[in-house]
Amino acid sequence: MHKHTVLLSFLWITFSAEAQIDSRFSGNESVTWQEAIGIYQALAAEHYQDARLTEAGLSDVGKPLHLFVINKGKSGQIEEEHTKPVLFINNGIHPGEPCGIDASIKLARNLLSGEEPYNSLLDSVIVAIIPVYNVGGALNRGCCVRANQNGPEEYGFRGNARNLDLNRDFIKMDSFNAQSFARIYHALRPEVMIDTHTSNGADYQYIMTMIATQPDKAGEEIGAYIRNKMNPALYHTMDERGFGITPYVYTIGRTPDEGIRDYLEIPRYSTGYAALFNTIGYTSETHMLKPFAQRVESTYQFLLSTLEFMHRYASELVSMKRRADEKVTKQKTFDLQWELDTTRWREIPFKGYEAGYKPSEVHGEDRLYYDRGRPVQKKIRYYDRYKATKSVNAPLAYVIPQAWREVISRLQMNNASLYELEKDTVIELSVYYVRDFKSSARVYEGHHLNTVNKLDKVTEEVQLFKGDFIVTLDEQNKRYVVETMEPEGVDSFFSWNFFDSAMQQKEWYSDYVFEDTAARLLEEDDDLQRSFNAAKAADAELARSPGKQLYWIYVHSPFYEGTANRYPVFRVESEAKLNALF
């Protein structure tokens, strides 16, 4: 058989799959990974002047991660400095929530149909779609693990091939998926990103809720734009189309009646990661109890509504992101942790169902239920303001020894500016000591999380070696570098326990031998004796424990190694020190 005949045969198969998909949008089936890729292959082949499907990296299951880009008249290629805003849509991060997988196919087909109003939208916006992000989870297909979800008949599994929740992996980047995503993201540099999901939790009348980038941590200009312009516009458009939405129902108490709060999408999540680079992010959350066809259609309408907004304000979005990117290069202070401001709220209309309690038929105690026969519309409190609880002044640069290659590779994959030291050197730098921290008792996504309780900053001489890395902070990814390198960052590399081995004391002593040494040290050093007495007076537990007293003397002696609990990333605070390193 000739090559040309093989190609025609392949296209016939994929176009057939595309034709069959129409019934699924209104039914209770979702496409498989293979079908989805076949459809995008067919679209790319038919519309090669406007669209392109590429294998954009690997996934943990060994299959490629695909990216479909529509850039009208550019064969799906994106200029290095694009003048049109990019809408980046990520689907199937949780393949049991496949609404966006099917909705994005519908969006892509309509955009490439040549019909209005779709064709005009492509004059001013570039659309980039990851058809299925969690490929391994999508291939692990079944009917039932999403308990009580109202369709589709089959769907994928939340965990990927390594059983990771990929929406917790954007900073730690344990998966090939996340590493491929970083390359895609930095190539696209999107103005707006949407991650499509399905939610459970409270019951209410809305088919969809949404999480937006939290405005209080998005930067002054972008934050105000999200809160005052883009969010209201999307709510209004969706309401006009009969798919009214509300903020994600993250309840303060057990039910929405007690109020809801903004979801703080920190950098481990897709939109929190995107916010580090001044991208406006949305997480669409359809409700699992609504029919699948309605969930797909509401997701489609949300994608389309966002695209229409971007079309209307295209140049505004591009210039705003460029201003934010430029501003962050000059930014001095960065927030590392936030908490909900419970003193501020606003009332919003909410369409729910009457909630009540009745005896459980399983355990006999009262259980919560929502009565769909009693729909209600009421005003509820919406707590949508956060305040920073921990901030830091950025240094001019960081220095990270080459031994910490897992962290260095992640910085490199996020385009941080790294320069290798050309010779061994000893230099005075700012150094952190983590005097007290708490580790989570249980493993979380392949790690345990650390929380810093006490951090000391000192200036001391540091031995560096040829091949260690200087990380400069003159780039648009400055916020990413600061939030990951500062140990108190909520999703820092320290928080994700990449530096745990540096927190261990390696040398010790034999107590029966050190007893005589400790006595001699106290006898010969009056200052040490006074400090020892003061410490015992201030700490009753120390005063009662001979072992703790001996260790106290050891720690305050010349025999203590000194580098235990030293954070192995150093801060360069002055131009003179930075110049000395180069």
Residue 18 clears pLDDT 90, i.e. is over it = no
CA distances from 200 to 95, 98, 290, 331 (A): 15, 14, 10, 39
Confidence of residue 16 (pLDDT cuts 50, 70, 90): very low
pLDDT digits (tens, 9 = 90+) for 222-252: 999 999 999 999 999 999 999 999 999 999 9
User: In the prediction, which pLDDT does 477 show?
Assistant: 93
Query: Taking the CB of residue 250, how many other CB atoms lie within 10 A of it?
Result: 18
Residue 409's CB is within 10 A of a number of other CB atoms, namely 12
| pLDDT, tens digit, 9 for 90 and up, residues 444-477 | 999 999 999 999 999 999 999 999 999 999 888 9
Q: Does position 47 have pLDDT exceeding 90, yes or no?
A: yes
Q: What is the pLDDT of residue 562?
A: 84
> Alpha helices of 140-245 — where are they, by DSSP H?
176-188, 220-225, 231-240
Tokens of 207: 């088919």
Residue 263, helix vs strand vs coil? coil
Mean pLDDT of the chain: 95
Helix axes 99-111, 292-312, angle to 10 degrees: 50
Supply the pLDDT for residue 23. 62
Residue 12 has pLDDT above 50, yes or no: no
Domain(s) labelled CATH 3.40.630.10 in the chain stretch across: 3-330
pLDDT of 115: 95
User: pLDDT grade, residue 81 (50/70/90)?
Assistant: confident
Give the whole-angstrom CA distance, residue 486 versus residue 180: 25
d(CA 61, CA 180): 13
pLDDT over 50 at 1, yes or no: no
Cβ 146 vs Cβ 137: under 8 Å: no
Per-residue model confidence (pLDDT) at position 25: 72
- In this model, does residue 138 exceed pLDDT 60? yes
Cα separation, 218 vs 264, whole angstroms: 11
In the predicted model, what is the mean pLDDT of residues 102-115? 97
Q: Give, in words, the CATH class of 3-330.
A: alpha beta
* pLDDT at residue number 360: 97
Whether 21 shows a pLDDT value over 80: the answer reads no
**Residues 482-509: what's their mean pLDDT?**
97
Quick: pLDDT tens for 270-282.
999 999 999 999 9
Mean pLDDT throughout 342-353?
Answer: 98
Kindly state the average pLDDT of the residues 408-423.
Answer: 97
pLDDT range class, residue 52, cuts 50, 70, 90: very high
pLDDT of 351 reads: 98
The predicted pLDDT at position 471 comes to: 98
Taking residues 158-176, what's their average pLDDT? Answer: 98
pLDDT of residue 5 exceeding 90: no
574 vs 8 pLDDT, higher one: 574
User: pLDDT category, 8, cuts 50, 70, 90?
Assistant: very low
pLDDT for residue 13: 35
- 22, 153, 157, 196, 522 from 143: Cα distances, Å: 21, 6, 10, 20, 71
Instruction: Give yes or no for residue 19 having a pLDDT over 80.
Output: no
For 404, the 3-state DSSP assignment is coil
Rounded to an integer, the average pLDDT of 497-505 is 96
Q: Given a cut of 80, is residue 9 above it in pLDDT?
A: no
Asked whether the beta carbons of 18 and 110 are under 8 A apart, the reply is no
CA distance 580 to 574: 10
Structure tokens at 354: 């009457």
Work out the average pLDDT over 545-567: 94
CA-wise closest residue to 228 among 327, 303, 351, 320: 320
211 closest CA partner among 228, 191, 234: 234
Residue 190 has pLDDT above 60, yes or no: yes
